[in-house]
């Protein structure tokens, strides 16, 4: 417990879907309210730094529009007409609908759908226990991590990397395809330490001059979906100038004369024609890296949200490997540590009841699933009932036109458990009010660092809010689902998971609020070998055998290049669709979250499209004028903002604003596609060919 100016503060954890997973210190002024939220200094990755939107969390937890009672739809679907009902009636109706769907079409007709709105293991993952016990359809969670994780693990064999605190000891920090200033502020904090203390330059790679690129010493502005060309040309220069670490390559990798011969033709001129970065800048970046093999590559998700994203991630990862950067403190690469915690989910998820014969449905293809696409349904029964927790698919999922049409089906019963009346809740039959993280106990692990953290219940929930765990257990009782996990409290689950995983116990983690699980140096730096069976990093990966969870091979995986290369699988611009649209993250929103808080709304304003001033002029679009952006999937009406910090032909829409913030109530995901990214699925949110016209020139009707 700490005391700031007379107010008590308690440790907690930010539960949101952010690699930073910050340890927090929450002021508790009394009256069941919270005050200022700060970063916890004692947790050395957070190091006292958090983002502004969470520092203002009082705005979200005490928001006057929070859902506080169960609501039943009374008007037509999507009308927003609901009436309050009691919990018993709400749960009875949900159970009745699930049992009816099961009786008509089998248990797979019920589809529990969830994501990482909370990253707490008990509250996020407990929904699996219900689905395993009831044999409901599973969800293959492709919406976020698959292309990036697949590309990384194809090289390393393991989803792990160098402790990100080592960035501060690096001679050069490369921030590739992540807008860290917006999406994980701690990366900048540690990178800037290296710049201040050691004069380490920061290289950034992105498609527009975002807030991270603006802070970089060497910003490399690529065309969307062309990072592998840039990476290959850097590899080419390093080899040509004899700056590769040959001894390291021989000992730790599959590097061969075949790969070297292949890269001999991937010159900076070749790359410039593809990625747009001038050959001279590519040479300069390679020379800088060659002189500073203690380089830290912080590889983000963004550049992998392209149809060739896994290939791009792998190609970028080959650079620190060619340099032998992994051998040095402060050198190597990091993408995610999600594969390092080894926390047993057996009790939380009811894994003892798991049956692999039950179908998995692709999270990103929810539109195709709900509109009855036979392949998306794996040629099984239609989905007739859903329980949705911690996600807002009507807003965030690709191919929004189909998602909306699916939710509007009269024969689908949708239960949405939420904090606010989101786009998805608006389409529900039943809306249940959920607790926020400070109102329940949970355990968190940092994807972007090395800590396990406890987020204890600190305040009482408003009104009748119930936690995800309570709702799952309440439903299980009514549905006849049996598992010991339904009778356990969240604290008992946390203790079970920690003790069974050899990570101490609840009592131990409660002392400081977190546990640093940083692996030994040699393991984190892969000096004991990479994760593949022969211990070698793969420059030539086998895309069919990446050691990660899988639901089979997807997308045009047969066409993937065997060696690092530009793969032209992206949605290329055409005369009809001449622009490439990237739907990048907004600083003050977190996916669809915080679009309800006054501070974030004020900072983000209305949706807008960044467009090169010459493109805007060529289209006759004045600043602030509304454009119609369209492709075969749909259209969005959005105001344009001329911005010189991007290449011609590229446009950027920051943030997933609520659908209703756009004219016609159609959000940015009207334009994004749900066709799976090879080889393991995922949505290419930043890979969209679009047409842009003045709204005023639009033919009516």
Ligand X SMILES: Nc1nc2c(c(=O)[nH]1)N[C@H]1C(S)=C(S)[C@@H](COP(=O)(O)OP(=O)(O)OC[C@H]3O[C@@H](n4cnc5c(=O)[nH]c(N)nc54)[C@H](O)[C@@H]3O)O[C@H]1N2
Judged by the rule CB under 6 A, the positions of this chain that interact with ligand SF4 are 14, 16, 18, 20-22, 50-51, 54, 184-185, 590
For the CB of residue 307, give the shortest distance to ligand SF4 in the complex, in Å: 28
- Residue 449 binds which of ligand SF4, Mo ion, ligand X, none (CB < 5-8 A, kind-dependent): none
Show the tokens assigned to 312.
């791009």
Question: Kind and range of the H or E element at 27?
Answer: strand 23-28
The smaller minimum CB distance to ligand X, of residues 125 and 245, is found at 125
- Residue 267 binds which of ligand X, ligand SF4, Mo ion, none (CB < 5-8 A, kind-dependent): none
For the CB of residue 144, give the shortest distance to Mo ion in the complex, in Å: 3
Q: Is 480 left (phi over 0), alpha (psi -120 to 50) or beta?
A: left
Residues 403 and 366: their CA atoms lie apart, in Å, by 6
* Cβ-based neighbours of 592, under 8 Å, separated by 6 or more: 392, 395, 396, 422, 423, 656, 658
Q: Which of residues 585-644 bind Mo ion (CB under 5 A)?
A: none
- Residue 142 binds which of Mo ion, ligand SF4, ligand X, none (CB < 5-8 A, kind-dependent): none
For the CB of residue 24, give the shortest distance to ligand X in the complex, in Å: 15
Instruction: Indicate the DSSP class of residue 101.
Output: H
The 3 state secondary structure assigned to 314-352 is HHHHHHHHHCCHHHCCCCEEECCCCCCCCCCCHHHHCHH
Residues 136 and 384: their CA atoms lie apart, in Å, by 11
Interface residue list for ligand X (CB under 6 A): 16-18, 115-118, 123, 143-144, 177-179, 182-184, 205-208, 210, 222, 224-225, 227, 300-303, 305-306, 389-392, 396, 417-420, 422, 434, 468, 582-587, 589-593, 656, 668-669, 672, 685-686
The smaller minimum CB distance to ligand X, of residues 78 and 529, is found at 78
Burial profile 571-585: b = 16 or more Cβ within 10 angstroms, e = fewer: bebeeebebbbbbbb
For 161-184, give the DSSP string.
-S-GGGGGG-SEEEEES--HHHH-
For the CB of residue 109, give the shortest distance to ligand SF4 in the complex, in Å: 36
The smaller minimum CB distance to ligand SF4, of residues 251 and 603, is found at 603
The smaller minimum CB distance to ligand SF4, of residues 136 and 301, is found at 301
Q: Are strands 295-299 and 332-334 parallel, antiparallel or unpaired?
A: parallel
- Residue 306 binds which of Mo ion, ligand X, ligand SF4, none (CB < 5-8 A, kind-dependent): ligand X
Show the tokens assigned to 687.
């890979």
For the CB of residue 643, give the shortest distance to ligand X in the complex, in Å: 12
The smaller minimum CB distance to ligand SF4, of residues 189 and 608, is found at 189
For the CB of residue 495, give the shortest distance to ligand X in the complex, in Å: 20
Contact between 144 and Mo ion per CB under 5 A = yes
For residues 347 and 497, the answer to whether their CB atoms sit within 8 Å is yes
The smaller minimum CB distance to ligand SF4, of residues 52 and 103, is found at 52
The smaller minimum CB distance to Mo ion, of residues 108 and 687, is found at 687
The smaller minimum CB distance to ligand X, of residues 308 and 327, is found at 308
How far is CA 665 from each of CA 25, 431, 620, rounded to the nearest angstrom?
A: 38, 20, 25
For the CB of residue 568, give the shortest distance to ligand SF4 in the complex, in Å: 35
For the CB of residue 277, give the shortest distance to ligand X in the complex, in Å: 10
For the CB of residue 697, give the shortest distance to Mo ion in the complex, in Å: 36
For the CB of residue 651, give the shortest distance to ligand X in the complex, in Å: 11
For the CB of residue 190, give the shortest distance to ligand X in the complex, in Å: 15
CA quadruple 667, 668, 673, 679: dihedral positive or negative? negative
Residues 153 and 148: their CA atoms lie apart, in Å, by 9
Instruction: Indicate the DSSP class of residue 383.
Output: P
- Residue 185 binds which of ligand X, ligand SF4, Mo ion, none (CB < 5-8 A, kind-dependent): ligand SF4
Token pair 């029964």 is at which residue? Answer: 381
Q: How many CB atoms lie within 10 A of CB 350?
A: 25
Residues 582 and 653: their CA atoms lie apart, in Å, by 6
For the CB of residue 231, give the shortest distance to Mo ion in the complex, in Å: 23
The smaller minimum CB distance to ligand X, of residues 118 and 597, is found at 118
The smaller minimum CB distance to ligand SF4, of residues 185 and 277, is found at 185
For the CB of residue 456, give the shortest distance to ligand SF4 in the complex, in Å: 17
Stretch that binds Mo ion, among 140-148, 498-506, 604-612, 670-678 (CB under 5 A): 140-148
Show the tokens assigned to 335.
């993408």
For the CB of residue 534, give the shortest distance to ligand X in the complex, in Å: 30
- Residue 54 binds which of ligand SF4, Mo ion, ligand X, none (CB < 5-8 A, kind-dependent): ligand SF4
The smaller minimum CB distance to ligand SF4, of residues 61 and 692, is found at 61
Contact between 228 and Mo ion per CB under 5 A = no
- Residue 14 binds which of ligand SF4, Mo ion, ligand X, none (CB < 5-8 A, kind-dependent): ligand SF4
- Residue 420 binds which of ligand SF4, ligand X, Mo ion, none (CB < 5-8 A, kind-dependent): ligand X
- Residue 586 binds which of Mo ion, ligand SF4, ligand X, none (CB < 5-8 A, kind-dependent): ligand X
Q: What is the CA radius of gyration of the chain?
A: 25
The smaller minimum CB distance to ligand X, of residues 337 and 389, is found at 389
Residues 147 and 308: their CA atoms lie apart, in Å, by 8
For 548-600, give the DSSP string.
S--SS--SSGGG--SSS-----S----SSS-EEEE-PPPSS-BTTBTTTSHHH
* # of chain residues touching Mo ion (CB under 5 A): 1
691 in helix, strand or coil?
strand
Instruction: Indicate the DSSP class of residue 188.
Output: H
- Give residue 603's Cα distance to chain centre: 22
- Residue 582 binds which of Mo ion, ligand X, ligand SF4, none (CB < 5-8 A, kind-dependent): ligand X
- Residue 475 binds which of ligand SF4, Mo ion, ligand X, none (CB < 5-8 A, kind-dependent): none
- Residue 308 binds which of Mo ion, ligand X, ligand SF4, none (CB < 5-8 A, kind-dependent): none
* Cβ-based neighbours of 490, under 8 Å, separated by 6 or more: 122, 123, 440, 441, 442, 467, 469
For the CB of residue 149, give the shortest distance to ligand SF4 in the complex, in Å: 19
The smaller minimum CB distance to Mo ion, of residues 144 and 311, is found at 144
Token pair 């829409």 is at which residue? Answer: 653
CA quadruple 413, 91, 116, 463: dihedral positive or negative? positive
Q: Which of 53, 297, 46 is nearest to 182 (CA)?
A: 53
66 in helix, strand or coil?
coil
- Residue 331 binds which of ligand X, ligand SF4, Mo ion, none (CB < 5-8 A, kind-dependent): none
The smaller minimum CB distance to Mo ion, of residues 293 and 448, is found at 448
Residues 687 and 571: their CA atoms lie apart, in Å, by 6
The smaller minimum CB distance to ligand X, of residues 87 and 254, is found at 87
CA angle 591, 593, 597 (to 5 degrees): 135
* Residue of minimal Cβ distance to Mo ion: 144
Q: Which of 146, 145, 127 is nearest to 137 (CA)?
A: 127
- Residue 597 binds which of Mo ion, ligand X, ligand SF4, none (CB < 5-8 A, kind-dependent): none
Contact residues toward Mo ion (CB under 5 A) are 144
């Amino acid at each position: 417990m700490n005391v700031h100016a007379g107010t008590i503060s308690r440790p907690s954890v930010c539960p949101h879907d952010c690699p930073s997973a910050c340890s927090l210190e929450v002021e508790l002024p009394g009256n069941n309210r919270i005050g200022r939220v700060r970063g916890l200094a004692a947790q050395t990755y957070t190091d006292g730094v958090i983002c502004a939107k969470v520092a203002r969390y009082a705005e979200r937890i005490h928001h006057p529009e929070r859902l506080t009672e169960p609501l039943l739809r009374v008007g037509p679907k999507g009308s927003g007409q609901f009436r309050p009902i009691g919990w018993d009636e709400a749960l009875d109706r949900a159970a009745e609908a699930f049992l009816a769907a099961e009786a008509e079409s089998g248990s797979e007709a019920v589809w529990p759908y969830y994501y990482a709105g909370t990253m707490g293991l008990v509250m996020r993952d407990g929904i699996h226990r219900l689905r395993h016990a009831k044999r409901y359809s599973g969800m293959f969670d492709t919406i976020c991590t698959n292309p990036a994780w697949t590309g990384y693990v194809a090289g390393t064999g393991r989803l792990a990397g160098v402790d990100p605190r080592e960035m501060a000891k690096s001679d050069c920090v490369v921030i590739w395809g992540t807008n860290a200033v917006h999406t994980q502020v701690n990366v900048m904090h540690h990178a800037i330490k290296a710049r201040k203390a050691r004069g380490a330059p920061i290289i950034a790679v992105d498609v527009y001059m975002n807030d991270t690129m603006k802070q970089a010493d060497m910003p490399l502005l690529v065309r969307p979906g062309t990072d592998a060309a840039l990476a290959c040309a850097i590899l080419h220069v390093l080899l040509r100038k004899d700056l590769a670490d040959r001894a390291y390559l021989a000992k730790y990798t599959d590097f061969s004369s075949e790969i070297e011969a292949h890269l001999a033709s991937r010159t900076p001129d070749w790359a410039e024609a593809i990625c747009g970065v001038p050959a001279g800048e590519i040479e300069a970046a390679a020379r800088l890296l060659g002189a500073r093999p203690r380089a830290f590559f912080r590889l983000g998700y963004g550049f992998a949200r392209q149809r060739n994203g896994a290939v791009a991630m792998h190609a970028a990862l080959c650079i620190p490997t060619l340099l032998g950067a992994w051998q040095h403190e402060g050198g190597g690469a990091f993408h995610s540590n999600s594969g390092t915690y080894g926390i047993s989910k057996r009790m939380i998820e009811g894994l003892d009841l798991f049956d692999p014969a039950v179908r998995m449905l692709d999270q990103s293809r929810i539109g195709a699933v709900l509109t009855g696409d036979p392949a998306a349904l794996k040629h099984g029964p239609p989905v007739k009932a859903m329980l949705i927790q911690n996600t807002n698919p009507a807003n965030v999922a690709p191919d929004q036109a189909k998602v909306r049409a699916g939710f509007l089906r009269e024969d689908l019963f949708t239960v949405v458990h939420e904090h606010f009346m989101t786009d998805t809740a608006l389409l529900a039959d039943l809306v249940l009010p959920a607790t926020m993280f400070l109102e329940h106990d949970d355990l968190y692990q940092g994807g972007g660092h090395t800590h396990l953290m406890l987020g204890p219940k600190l305040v009482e929930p408003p009104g009748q809010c119930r936690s995800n765990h309570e709702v799952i257990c309440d439903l299980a009782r009514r549905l006849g689902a049996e598992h010991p996990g339904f009778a356990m409290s969240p604290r008992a689950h946390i203790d079970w998971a920690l003790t069974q995983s050899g990570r101490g116990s609840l009592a131990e983690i409660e002392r400081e609020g977190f546990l640093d699980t940083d692996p030994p140096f040699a393991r984190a730096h892969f000096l004991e070998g990479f994760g593949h069976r022969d211990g070698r990093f793969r420059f030539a990966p086998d895309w069919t055998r990446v050691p990660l969870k899988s639901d089979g091979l997807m997308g045009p995986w047969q066409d993937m290049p065997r060696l690092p290369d530009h793969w032209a699988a992206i949605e290329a611009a055409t005369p009809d669709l001449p622009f490439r649209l990237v739907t990048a993250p907004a600083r003050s929103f977190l996916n669809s979250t915080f679009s309800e808080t006054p501070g974030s709304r004020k900072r983000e304003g209305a949706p807008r499209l960044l467009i090169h001033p010459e493109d805007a002029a060529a289209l006759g679009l004045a600043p602030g004028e509304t454009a119609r952006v369209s492709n075969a999937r749909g259209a969005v009406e959005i105001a344009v903002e001329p911005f010189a910090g991007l290449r011609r032909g590229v446009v950027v829409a920051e943030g997933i604003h609520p659908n209703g913030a756009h004219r016609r109530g159609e959000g940015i995901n009207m334009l994004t596609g749900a066709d799976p990214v090879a080889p393991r699925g995922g949505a290419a949110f930043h890979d969209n060919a679009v047409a842009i016209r003045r709204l005023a020139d639009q033919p009516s009707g």
